[in-house]
Amino acid sequence: MSIHKTLGEFIIEKQADFPHAKGELSALLSAIKLAAKIVNREINKAGLVDITGATGVENVQGEQQQKLDMYANEIFKNALIARGEICGIASEEEDNYVFFDNKNSRSGNYVVLMDPLDGSSNIDVNVSVGTIFSIYRRVSPTNGPVGIEDFLQVGRKQVAAGYVIYGSSTMLVYTTGNGVHGFTYDPSIGVFCLSHESLTIPKSGRIYSINEGNYVKFPLGVKKYLKYCQEEDESTNRPYTSRYIGSLIADFHRNLLKGGIYIYPQTAQAPSGKLRLLYECNPIAFLAEQAGALATDGFSPILDIKPTELHQRVPFFTGSPEMMDTAHQFMKEFEGS
């Protein structure tokens, strides 16, 4: 039986990749991995206990909150507040950012933004879901309350980002700007073990991921690109295969490993797109670029967008660079159509 390096061992080994911190990254990711273990345990009980379905309450985006949304939000929030490195969080499930008002947190140097349970509506039908997190160094003065400016930072200011995918196995994937690394949870010993070191996305792929049910609402550039994906052409290995799970983490994780493109464009009903810049797009874009992929709004890099509000939405395109280049060509050619 081979012995795998654990997440904790790997972080210590790579501590130099996180120059701002002196053991702080280890503490931050320890809190995240602890919360992930607890959420993983509860997800595995789905169908046996009363944790599935909607709460009957809408979140700030007007979406029905699932019971596990709220549970995961509280678990991650409590795990993070216990660490003095964190002075505040912003969550997709919270109307406003949360300031941790205690002595240790006031001197904390970092804020965390998160989607506690991405794709939670799929829990009832046993489809993979995930947690997405993003870590920034605060810009407000220490020993005082955090401010909105700590959370509305451009994506390139992230010091770490990642996700946990709860599926046939549970994996934690993260980056600190020095490559992307994946760790698979071994429930028999209760640790995350290194399973995918220095992940890189294939330059091209044969999978496109988009909700084609909204086809008539898409911009013309997206429609033209989809027709291109469906056309037969041996020289470019087309037609491509359509694979859309409806859980961003699950779709992105598959394409990261196998190659492909994921698109959630703007529509007539959602001219700014649907996915959240701070909780979903920025952390995934950071991971994507570190793995050799691209991530844009169809025209410009996601990581260069200056946020203006906590729950800002943007169109989102990410995937293998050659497929993204082609998609960009169609978007540019039919811009404004």
Asked if the structure places residue 190 within a domain, the reply is: yes
Whether residue 153 is found in the same domain as residue 239: no
For residue range 166-224, list pLDDT tens digits in order: 998 999 999 999 999 999 999 999 999 999 999 999 999 999 999 999 999 999 999 99
Whether residue 173 is found in the same domain as residue 215: no
Whether residue 91 is found in the same domain as residue 157: yes
Alpha carbons 135 and 158: distance in angstroms, whole number:
6
Whether residue 190 is found in the same domain as residue 266: no
Expressed in angstroms, the distance from the first to the final Cα of the chain is: 59
Asked if the structure places residue 296 within a domain, the reply is: yes
Whether residue 185 is found in the same domain as residue 47: yes
Give the ranges where the chain is alpha helix by DSSP (H): 7-13, 24-43, 67-81, 103-106, 148-151, 220-230, 248-258, 282-290, 321-333
Alpha carbons 92 and 223: distance in angstroms, whole number:
30
Whether residue 40 is found in the same domain as residue 188: yes
Asked if the structure places residue 201 within a domain, the reply is: no
Asked if the structure places residue 241 within a domain, the reply is: yes
Could you tell me the pLDDT band of residue 22, with boundaries at 50, 70 and 90? low
Mean pLDDT of 64-77: 85
Beta carbons of 152 and 308 less than 8 angstroms apart = yes
Could you tell me the pLDDT band of residue 120, with boundaries at 50, 70 and 90? confident
Q: Determine whether the annotation assigns residue 274 to a binding site.
A: yes
Asked whether residue 127 carries a pLDDT value surpassing 90, the answer given is: no
Q: How many residues does the chain have?
A: 337
Q: Determine whether the annotation assigns residue 234 to a binding site.
A: no
Whether residue 74 is found in the same domain as residue 52: yes
For residue range 144-177, list pLDDT tens digits in order: 889 999 999 999 999 999 999 999 899 999 999 9
Say what the pLDDT of residue 204 is.
97
Bridge pairing between strands 54-58 and 86-91:
unpaired
Looking at 167, 196, 225, the residue that finishes a domain is 196
Asked if the structure places residue 21 within a domain, the reply is: yes
Q: Determine whether the annotation assigns residue 117 to a binding site.
A: yes
Mean pLDDT of 138-142: 92
Residue found by looking up tokens 């497929």 in the block? 323
Q: Determine whether the annotation assigns residue 107 to a binding site.
A: no
Whether residue 44 is found in the same domain as residue 74: yes
CATH of the domain at 85: 3.30.540.10
Whether residue 231 is found in the same domain as residue 329: yes
Q: Determine whether the annotation assigns residue 185 to a binding site.
A: no
Whether residue 41 is found in the same domain as residue 178: yes
Say what the pLDDT of residue 104 is.
58
**Domain range for residue 104?**
7-196
Asked if the structure places residue 27 within a domain, the reply is: yes
Q: Determine whether the annotation assigns residue 297 to a binding site.
A: no
For residue range 270-308, list pLDDT tens digits in order: 999 999 999 999 999 999 999 999 999 999 999 999 999
Q: Determine whether the annotation assigns residue 92 to a binding site.
A: yes
Looking at 137, 171, 196, the residue that finishes a domain is 196
The predicted model scores a pTM of 0.93
Beta carbons of 161 and 278 less than 8 angstroms apart = no
Say what the pLDDT of residue 102 is.
66
Whether residue 108 is found in the same domain as residue 75: yes
Structurally, the chain folds into a number of domains equal to 2
Higher-pLDDT residue of 106, 75: 75
Asked if the structure places residue 82 within a domain, the reply is: yes
Whether residue 109 is found in the same domain as residue 231: no
Q: Determine whether the annotation assigns residue 121 to a binding site.
A: yes
Q: Determine whether the annotation assigns residue 91 to a binding site.
A: no
Looking at 196, 221, 252, the residue that finishes a domain is 196
231: exposed, middle or buried (C-beta count within 10 Å: 0-12, 13-18, 19+)? exposed
CATH of the domain at 283: 3.40.190.80
